[in-house]
């Protein structure tokens, strides 16, 4: 297996300098940092592609930032960015290029993969998607009985589900409200059953989305969808009108019986969790239309250009990524909360979980050694203000340090009187409260009895980034997703791990394959697992047989 031309080299100097600086400054309070520097709020900000990032409420000073950027440089981030953008096989364990940035490149760009320009391929698929989406949107695409298709069910899991669901929810305001969209991912039969229970098969199109077209959950749901369709439509020929496929695997798609005219291709140089802007976004395009989809891609692309060209000290993904490294490696922070103050982004944290954790949940370096410091923080979150009435207690007063990204918009897409200022006041208030807290003196001055004071004190010094944009548009969503994609890459580069493979999902899949027949067989199987697994299987079989 070939390896990319340039490997990042270890950078102990910057790591050690950062460790020393962190030890010296770790306890400096944000109150002191703000008091000492009236220009802090202006200096620790960056803006690009319609996104404004205020990172002033982080536990950094100028030197910390300089050292973090130095570490990025010493990790050969610049070179790694170029390798990614130019199609080097930086996914070394799968010997693959990592070219999701080609998916949103403009028509006249030239991006070579194995000597061939992939941009025309990308645009040919986009055109084919647009033609198909337009037929559905105009109701010209008729089902087998002649009724127009009204319901679109995306069947996929992981990257073939989370991006489409997140984007559909995020861009609902510009979606065709006359169409119904459902998403089936879980192999739990409930997911399929509930998704279709009120749908008419004659008006329903399934999009089977799977990069490999072999994923057990998706193929099981796809076969169930086929049976559900054919039970009503009673003719194999109906499949051509009611099924589309998005995959890299044309052979398996035709073996399933889907007309390859309804197949939308992508390529092995697109990772599943980096694929929402490939043909995997077909349901998104049907929902919002080809023009809005192009705007989404343009937003991604604008962030790509920014990431590739902006100096590190003004580079949003670099700053965000290096701050994640700072807290993960020097403050023992184990998680990062992403808190969108926009209901349309309710699935954004779930989307980010796969993007960040499948990418950087690694403990082996590119050269096969063990990492010598923590990597990949746990990303999680919920939309504000709901989270405030749930888990924010722990973020404010718990024993763990949880850096937070708060995402908000200046203009609501549903500007009901009062709501938006109320919502956004919470973004600013939460960031303020987390940073500055409330001292015992302040609490006492409010007349709090002495015994209650400790309970009402807020230590503060809890870091936040605030990401602010004017309005949640397709372009802004693209920029936001690309911001996190590239932030993940920055982190992975500095940790010298491969952010683009996912071997960690394999073992469970293999073991499940072995267990399936043991659960299904009529005969009592001979079990050769550990005693706990054996006992659980036996108990399951007994309960099932009752």
Question: Is residue 154 within the footprint of ligand F6P (CB under 6 A)?
Answer: no
Query: Residue 290 half-sphere exposure, CB side, CA atoms within 13 Å?
Result: 15
Closest CB 97 distance from ligand F6P, rounded Å: 16
List the catalytic residue out of 107, 197, 389, 418.
389
Closest CB 134 distance from ligand F6P, rounded Å: 25
Return the axis-axis angle of helices 531-545 and 506-520, rounded to nearest 10°: 40
Nearer Cβ to ligand F6P (91/218) = 218
What is the spatial distance between Cα 87 and Cα 118, in angstroms, rounded to a whole number?
Answer: 10
Q: Tokens in use for 225? A: 């969808």
Residues that bind ligand F6P (rule: CB under 6 A) add up to a total of 14
Question: Is residue 57 within the footprint of ligand F6P (CB under 6 A)?
Answer: no
Where are the alpha helices (H) located in 182-289, listed in sequence order?
Answer: 189-196, 216-233, 239-242, 250-256, 282-288
Segment near ligand F6P (CB under 6 A); pick from 20-28, 151-159, 374-382, 452-460: 151-159
What is the spatial distance between Cα 260 and Cα 54, in angstroms, rounded to a whole number?
Answer: 48
What is the spatial distance between Cα 396 and Cα 539, in angstroms, rounded to a whole number?
Answer: 43
Nearer Cβ to ligand F6P (365/502) = 502
Inter-residue contact 263 to 244 (CB < 8 Å): yes
Q: Give me Rg for the CA atoms of the chain.
A: 25
Closest CB 246 distance from ligand F6P, rounded Å: 9
Nearest 5°: the CA angle 2, 106, 278 is: 60
Among 70, 241, 273, 301, binds ligand F6P (CB under 6 A): 273
Closest CB 451 distance from ligand F6P, rounded Å: 51
To the query of whether residue 142 is one of the catalytic residues in this protein, the response is: no
Closest CB 275 distance from ligand F6P, rounded Å: 7
Among 23, 36, 505, 516, binds ligand F6P (CB under 6 A): 505
**DSSP 3-state assignment of 268?**
coil
Classify residue 197 as left (phi > 0), alpha (psi -120 to 50) or beta. alpha
Closest CB 110 distance from ligand F6P, rounded Å: 28
Binders of ligand F6P in range 358-397 (CB under 6 A): 358
Nearer Cβ to ligand F6P (160/284) = 160
Nearer Cβ to ligand F6P (80/211) = 211
To the query of whether residue 389 is one of the catalytic residues in this protein, the response is: yes
Comparing CA positions, the residue from 239, 273, 321 lying closest to residue 65 is 321
What is the spatial distance between Cα 438 and Cα 199, in angstroms, rounded to a whole number?
Answer: 54
Nearer Cβ to ligand F6P (207/427) = 207
Nearer Cβ to ligand F6P (23/505) = 505
DSSP-assigned states of every residue in 45-58: EEEETTEEEE-TTS
Closest CB 245 distance from ligand F6P, rounded Å: 11
Binders of ligand F6P in range 309-368 (CB under 6 A): 358
Binding mask 201-230 for ligand F6P (x = CB under 6 A): ---------xxx--x--x------------
To the query of whether residue 78 is one of the catalytic residues in this protein, the response is: no
List the catalytic residue out of 234, 251, 419, 509.
509
CB atoms near residue 138 (< 10 Å): 10
List the catalytic residue out of 358, 382, 485, 518.
358
First to last CA, the chain: 52
Which residues contact ligand F6P by CB under 6 A? Answer: 157-160, 210-212, 215, 218, 272-273, 358, 502, 505
Catalytic residue annotation: 358, 389, 509
């Amino acid at each position: 297996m070939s390896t990319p031309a340039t490997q990042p080299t270890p950078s102990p100097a910057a790591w050690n300098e950062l460790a020393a600086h962190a030890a010296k400054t770790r306890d400096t309070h944000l109150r002191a940092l703000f008091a000492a520097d009236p220009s802090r709020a202006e200096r620790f900000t960056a803006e690009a592609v319609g996104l404004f990032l205020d990172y002033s409420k982080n536990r950094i000073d100028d030197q910390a930032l300089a050292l973090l950027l130095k570490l990025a440089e010493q990790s050969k981030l610049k070179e790694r960015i170029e390798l990614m953008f130019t199609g080097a096989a930086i996914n070394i364990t799968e010997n693959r290029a990592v070219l999701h940035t080609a998916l949103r490149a403009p028509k006249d760009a030239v991006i070579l993969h194995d000597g061939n320009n992939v941009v025309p391929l990308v645009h040919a698929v986009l055109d084919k998607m647009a033609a198909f989406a337009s037929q559905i949107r105009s109701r010209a695409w008729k089902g087998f009985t002649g009724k127009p298709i009204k319901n679109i069910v995306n069947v996929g899991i992981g990257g073939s589900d989370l991006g489409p669901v997140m984007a559909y929810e995020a861009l609902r305001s510009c979606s065709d409200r006359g169409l119904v969209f459902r998403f089936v991912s879980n192999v739990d039969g409930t997911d399929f059953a509930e998704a279709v229970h009120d749908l008419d098969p004659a008006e329903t199109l399934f999009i089977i989305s799977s990069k490999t077209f072999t994923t057990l959950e998706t193929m099981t749901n796809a076969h169930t969808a086929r049976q559900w369709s054919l039970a009503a439509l009673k003719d194999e020929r109906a499949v051509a009108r009611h099924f589309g496929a998005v995959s890299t695997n044309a052979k398996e798609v035709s073996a399933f019986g889907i007309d390859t005219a309804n197949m939308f291709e992508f390529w092995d140089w697109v990772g599943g969790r980096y694929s929402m802007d490939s043909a995997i976004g077909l349901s998104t395009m049907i929902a919002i239309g080809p023009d809005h989809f192009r705007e989404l891609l343009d937003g991604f692309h604008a962030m790509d250009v920014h990431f590739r060209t902006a100096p590190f000290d003004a580079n949003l993904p670099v700053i965000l990524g290096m701050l994640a490294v700072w807290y993960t490696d020097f403050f023992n922070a184990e998680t990062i909360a992403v808190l969108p103050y926009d209901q349309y982004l309710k699935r954004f944290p779930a989307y980010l979980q796969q993007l960040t954790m499948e990418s950087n949940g690694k403990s082996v370096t590119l050269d096969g050694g063990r990492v010598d410091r923590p990597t990949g923080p746990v990303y999680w979150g919920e939309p504000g203000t709901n989270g405030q009435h749930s888990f924010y207690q722990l973020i404010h007063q718990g024993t763990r340090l949880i850096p937070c990204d708060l995402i908000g918009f200046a203009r609501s897409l549903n500007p009901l009187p009062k709501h938006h200022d109320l919502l956004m006041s919470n973004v600013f208030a939460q960031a303020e409260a987390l940073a500055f807290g409330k001292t015992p003196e302040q609490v006492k001055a409010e007349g709090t009895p002495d015994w209650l004071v400790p309970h009402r004190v807020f230590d503060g010094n809890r870091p936040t980034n605030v990401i602010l944009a004017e309005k949640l548009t397709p372009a802004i969503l693209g920029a936001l997703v690309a911001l996190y994609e590239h932030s993940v890459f920055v982190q992975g580069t500095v940790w010298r791990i491969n952010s683009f493979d996912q071997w960690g999902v394999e073992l469970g899949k293999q073991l499940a394959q072995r267990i399936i027949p043991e659960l299904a067989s009529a005969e009592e199987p001979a079990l050769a697992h550990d005693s706990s697994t054996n006992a659980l299987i036996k108990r399951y079989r007994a309960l099932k047989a009752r």
